[in-house]
Structure 1
């Protein structure tokens, strides 16, 4: 049995079908608040409504499992936060998994994770990684870039309603993105390939500027223009928004970090080890999403 924590989220929904195709039995743990909790995901999928804030739920989730995929995140959720999910929740689950005899845990992390990272999210990811390394289990840490599909959805939503695409900062700074399809593929590979055990892997799909993403969205929709938010305004918003919208403050803080250039990284070395895993870039994601409208 493989546990997928956050299995109803964007990444979890991509991982679960791949595990089923590989003949695995899967248990999905999710709160069922940020995303609807399904009645059924397949005959070999056990659904568990649980909260990472609960020791009891974490123990129940890992019971009888040989491996765990941690795909939950509090960054993009308005009703929680990275400290509760990506740090404290992850550490709580890691301890429960170690005590239950889980053999391998795959942790989805973020490029730039470090104890002294410039934004709280990266510091939370670093704390979870540290707990995993000292857990006694086999582990794999996959440090992704920003999820490409999520960024496209954020930028495309105002285009549909207002004909505008928000561009934070200069729009000319490169950012490395990871597509959901690519992230899911390397998760499944890590669960079966010893070459990915006990190592940190930087896994990206394509490096793009915000201007390039915006132009691709304009071409897809056949219309639109950029709504530019200056870098100074982004930095100010990351502080000023905290009292009334911690979510908006997190988004602005991440945008300010990206403007520094630190969100671009070299992913070719890891990719060259696993050339059979396809690379899914911007155009492929847009092609899959079809005609203008919400992205899949």
Structure 2
């Protein structure tokens, strides 16, 4: 049995079908709040409604599992936080998994994860990485860039409602994105390939500045314009919004970090080592999403 924590999220929804197609038994753990809890998915998938804030739920989730994929994140959820999910929840789950005899954990993380990282999300990811490294289990840390599909969805929503695509800062800083398809393929590979045990792998799909992403969306839609939010305003918002909207503050903080250029990373060596894993770039994601305005 393979446990997928965050199995209703964007990445989890891509990983689970791949595992089922490979003949694996899968248990999904999710709260069922930020994303609808799925209907019965067949005999190969067990659904468990659980909270990473609960020791009992974590113990129940890992019981009988040989491997765990931690694909949950609190960054983009308004009623949660990276500290609750990406740090404390990940540590709690790792401890429960080790106690239950789980053999291998695949932990999703992000390039730049460090105890002294410039934003809280990276510090939380570093704590989660440390937890699995010191757990006594085999581990794989998969560091991915911002999910391309998620970023496109965020930028498309205002285009549909206001005719504007937001670009924070100059829009010229390079950002490495990872498509959901590529990230899911790496996770599945990590579960079956001993070459990915007890190591960190950084996986990107394409590096682009925000203005190129925005222009591609506008070209696809055939209407609209770019709405630029000055870098100074982004930095101010990352501080001023904390008392009334921690979610908005951390999004602005991440945007300010991207403006520094630190969100771009080198993924060529990993690609060269595993050339059979797919590469899905911006145009492929847009073409696969169907009609203009839809990124489902």
Distance in structure 2 (CA, Å) of the matches to 1:49 and 1:178 = 28
1:261 alignment partner in structure 2: 261
1:208 alignment partner in structure 2: 208
- Greater CA drift, 37-46 or 251-260: 37-46
Structure 2 matches for 1:277-292, cutoff 5 A? 277-292=277-292
**Alpha-carbon distance, 1:278 to partner:** 1.1
Q: Unaligned regions of 5+ residues in structure 1, if any?
A: none
**Alpha-carbon distance, 1:41 to partner:** 2.1
**Alpha-carbon distance, 1:224 to partner:** 1.2
Distance in structure 1 (CA, Å) of the matches to 2:228 and 2:40 = 42
Distance in structure 1 (CA, Å) of the matches to 2:150 and 2:206 = 14
Structure 2 matches for 1:194-233, cutoff 5 A? 194-233=194-233
- Greater CA drift, 92-101 or 32-41: 32-41
**Alpha-carbon distance, 1:38 to partner:** 1.3
Deviations 1:27-48 (A, max 9, x none): 0000000000112123200000
Q: Per the alignment, in what secondary structure is the counterpart of residue 68 of structure 1?
A: strand
Q: Per the alignment, in what secondary structure is the counterpart of residue 166 of structure 1?
A: strand
Structure 2 matches for 1:68-87, cutoff 5 A? 68-87=68-87
Residue 172, structure 1, aligned to residue 172, structure 2: yes
Structure 2 matches for 1:120-139, cutoff 5 A? 120-139=120-139
Residue 57, structure 1, aligned to residue 79, structure 2: no
Q: Per the alignment, in what secondary structure is the counterpart of residue 81 of structure 1?
A: coil
Deviations 1:136-176 (A, max 9, x none): 00000000000000000000100011110000000011000
Residue 41, structure 1, aligned to residue 70, structure 2: no
Structure 2 matches for 1:93-132, cutoff 5 A? 93-132=93-132
Q: TM-score by structure 2 length? A: 0.99
Q: TM-score by structure 1 length? A: 0.99
Distance in structure 2 (CA, Å) of the matches to 1:88 and 1:290 = 38
Runs of 4+ in 1 over 3 A off after TM superposition: none
Q: Per the alignment, in what secondary structure is the counterpart of residue 115 of structure 2?
A: coil
2:66 alignment partner in structure 1: 66
Distance in structure 2 (CA, Å) of the matches to 1:54 and 1:105 = 19
Contact 1:157 1:294 in 2 (8 A): no
Residue 249, structure 1, aligned to residue 245, structure 2: no
Distance in structure 2 (CA, Å) of the matches to 1:85 and 1:294 = 29
Distance in structure 2 (CA, Å) of the matches to 1:293 and 1:213 = 14
Distance in structure 1 (CA, Å) of the matches to 2:163 and 2:100 = 52
